[in-house]
């Protein structure tokens, strides 16, 4: 067996501690494992050449804490590449909650089976160990880019909704970002915790409430239309939902009187 540590890809150095690579090339030596600081979250990739010389992907797994001993077992045809991460990195890169990973490792095939098929294809055709580690580097860089893109989408969307919380704003955001509605809803919920429309209605209520408190209006109908409500009854329903009272009774007696 041969092993070495590899310096992480420059754009990943913020997230990675080190990369450990093991290649089997003679009889297995079970107790000759290198000494390494286990107990760190890791992306563990094990491949093996079959008799026909095809590279078979045995395992690509995210471990929250420790890579179990049995994973390190090797034959003469095994290659192991293990990326050891800084503690915060796995949830950020793979959107798997740390608490979930701490309990149970995640195989990439259950994390995202479609991406995993593409990854396995790449590993299968990566002839050398250095090609394999390039494939895994690319996966991590891609995850990082995708997360950054998602963050930008959410930042843009929440900003837009903050400025204009009328009903038409969501359609405008979809158009500007050129993004599928369901995809947008999924990403939004992942980062913000509520659906885009729920968030919009919260913002809308905040505006109304501020306007009402500041006394900047002639009639309640004006407020409703100013803030993009279709009509007065939508306005009252929304107000009741978030403030647990009606606009009129709020004006009379503040938030204490429940209606």
Partner 1 sequence: MKEKITPCLWYNNQAQEAAALYCSAFADTKIVAKSPIVTAISVAGQSITLLDGGPRYQPNPSVSFFYICEKQDEMDRIWKLFSKGGSVLMPLDKYPWSERYGWITDKYGVSWQLALGKISDVGQKLTPCLLFTGKQYGKADEAIAHYSSIFKDPKVDGILRYTAGESPDEAGKVKHAQMALNGQKFMLMDSAGPHGFTFSEGVSLTIHCDTQAEIDHYWGKLTESGEESMCGWLKDKFGVSWQIIPTILNKIMSDPAKAGKAAQAFMSMRKLDIEQIVQASIA
Residue 217 beta carbon to partner 1: minimum distance, rounded to whole angstroms: 39
d(CA 214, CA 211): 5
Based on CB atoms, which residue is closest to partner 1, 183 or 244? 183
CA 113 – CA 110 distance, rounded (Å): 6
Both structure tokens of 60: 């690509």
Minimum separation from the CB atom of position 35 to partner 1 (A): 33
Pick between residue 124 and residue 211 the one whose CB is nearest to partner 1. Answer: 124
Question: What is the crossing angle of helices 169-177 and 181-192, to 10°?
Answer: 110
Comparison of 131 and 259: residue with beta carbon closer to partner 1:
131
Shortest Å distance, C-beta 7 to partner 1: 22
> Backbone phi, then psi, for 248, in 5-degree steps?
-65, -45
Closest to partner 1 by CB, 14 vs 131, is: 131
Q: How many CB atoms lie within 10 A of CB 44?
A: 21
CB of 104 to partner 1, least distance (A): 14
Least Å distance between CB 77 and partner 1? 15
Nearer to partner 1, 183 or 233 (CB): 183
CB of 232 to partner 1, least distance (A): 31
- Give the single-character DSSP code of 35: P
Q: Residue 74 or residue 126: which is nearer to partner 1 going by CB?
A: 126
Residues in touch with partner 1 (CB under 8 A): 54-57, 107, 109-110, 112-126, 131, 135, 138-139, 142, 145-146, 180, 182-183
Cα angle value 79/84/85 (rounded, 5°):
145
Q: Cα dist. 146→132, 143, 207, 208 in Å?
A: 21, 5, 33, 36
CA–CA distance, 237 with 235 (Å, rounded to integer): 6
Q: What share of the chain is helix, strand, coil (3-state, %, to 5)?
A: 55, 15, 30
């Amino acid at each position: 067996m041969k092993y070495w540590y590899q310096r992480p890809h420059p754009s990943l150095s913020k997230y990675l501690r080190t990369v450990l690579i093991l290649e089997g090339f003679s009889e297995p030596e079970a107790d000759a494992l290198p000494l390494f600081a286990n107990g760190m979250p890791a992306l563990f990739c094990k491949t093996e050449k079959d008799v026909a010389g095809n590279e078979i992907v045995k395992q690509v797994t995210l471990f929250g804490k420790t890579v179990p001993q049995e994973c390190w077992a090797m034959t003469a045809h095994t290659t192991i590449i293990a990326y050891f991460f800084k503690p915060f990195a796995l949830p950020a890169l793979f959107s798997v909650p740390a608490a979930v990973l701490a309990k149970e490792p995640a195989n990439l095939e259950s994390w995202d089976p479609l991406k995993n098929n593409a990854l396995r294809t790449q590993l299968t055709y990566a002839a050398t160990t250095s090609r394999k580690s390039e494939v895994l580097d690319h996966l991590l860089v891609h995850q990082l880019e995708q997360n950054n893109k998602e963050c930008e989408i959410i930042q843009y969307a929440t900003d837009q909704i903050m400025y204009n919380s009328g009903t038409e704003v969501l359609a405008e955001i979809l158009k500007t970002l050129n993004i599928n509605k369901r995809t947008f809803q999924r990403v939004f919920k992942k980062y913000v915790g509520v659906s885009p429309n729920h968030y919009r209605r919260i913002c809308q209520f905040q505006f109304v409430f501020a306007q009402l408190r500041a006394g900047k209006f002639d009639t309640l109908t004006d407020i409703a239309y100013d803030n993009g409500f279709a009509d007065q009854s939508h306005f009252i329903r929304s107000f009741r939902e978030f403030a647990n009272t009606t606009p009129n009774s709020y004006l009379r007696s503040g938030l204490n009187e429940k209606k």
